[in-house]
Amino acid sequence: MPGPDSRIYVAGHTGLAGSAIHRALEKPGHRNLILRAHADLDLTDARAVDGFFAAEKPSHVILAAAKVGGIAANTAFPAEFLSVNLRIAANVIDSAWRHGAAKLLYLASSCIYPRLTPQPIREEALLTGALEPTNEAYAIAKIAGLKLCQAYRRQYGFDAIVAMPTNLYGPHDRFDAESSHVLPALLRRFYEAKLTGAESVTVWGSGSPRRDFLHADDLAAACLALLRGYSGEMPVNIGSGGDIAIRDLAQLIAAVVGYRGAINFDPSRPDGTPEKRLDISRIAALGWRPSIDLHRGIEDTYRWYRENCARETAAV
């Protein structure tokens, strides 16, 4: 387990997952966190990454940096989702091992499981069926990253472990209308509709897909539990233990925002995978449980959104 003086590098510390992990590490007083903004270190640049690891020599690495986006961004930019994420994983995992890191935690994603697979999804379901086409490029890159961790463990004895987070949400998410994930997209859309007095809000797809949503602070606590107490080849699922239909999520968000108009659905937009609820027995056996229920988590995210992004939204 990393001590308070361990040199821990959080890659992606400004993003949704990475910023939550950063907060969770600061709380118990980790003093030697190593952080680099994207502008100061391009993780797709192998030479720059290697130079950084040679100079900083982190003992622990949390790889939460990735090019991410919702269903529309994944569909529109497959080349970037595949290429950028492949390079980030290859560069960071190799340099961490090469420069003597004791442990690396890689964040994969629940979208790398087969599109149609028994629910809740167990870790053993990996690579047992075809992927969901709307995020295949991202999933292939994340599978490659996971396989790199397993290969470096087998061949070099590198303690690289893999977390498999479900759909995340929370502060520091991206709230843009087209490329974000459903929860921030709908928070923004319902907020704007309330401001403008719009009679209806349109939600993409049929409303019937189900998703397992976890607050990023719960993910961060799970990542620390893995760093402390897990070493092995098998990835470990991190989810809420439940799921919700997009239709019901939309109603919940409308209630939190205080929007009272109609909710319509646009079936010309893709649904994506019908459901992806994670089995969380493995991480539960390490003593972790989610602590933020969806209603409270949405309230918390809405508060953050209003304090940090709503001014620019209101101008739209």
Where do contacts with ligand GFB occur on this chain (CB under 6 A)?
A: 70-72, 74, 109, 111, 134-135, 138, 167, 181-182, 185-186, 203-205, 209, 211, 246, 269-272
Q: For the CB of residue 288, give the shortest distance to ligand GFB in the complex, in Å.
A: 20
160: nearest Cα among 208, 71, 256, 90 = 90
Do the strands 210-211 and 244-245 form a parallel or antiparallel pair, or are they unpaired?
antiparallel
Taking the least distance from each CB to ligand GFB, the nearer of 42 and 271 is 271
Cis peptide before 235 (omega within 30 of 0): no
> Position of tokens 């047992």?
128
Q: Which residue's C-beta sits nearest to ligand GFB?
A: 70
138, 152, 230, 305: the active-site residue: 138
Read out DSSP for 83-117? HHHHHHHHHHHHHHHHTT-SEEEEE--GGGS-SS-
Assigned token pair, 292 = 């933020």
Taking the least distance from each CB to ligand GFB, the nearer of 25 and 71 is 71
Quote the Cα angle for 20-243-198, to 5°. Answer: 85
E strand intervals along the chain:
8-11, 33-34, 60-63, 103-107, 160-165, 167-169, 200-204, 210-211, 213-215, 236-238, 244-245, 262-266
Taking the least distance from each CB to ligand GFB, the nearer of 10 and 263 is 263
Catalytic-residue membership of 138: yes
Positions marked catalytic: 138
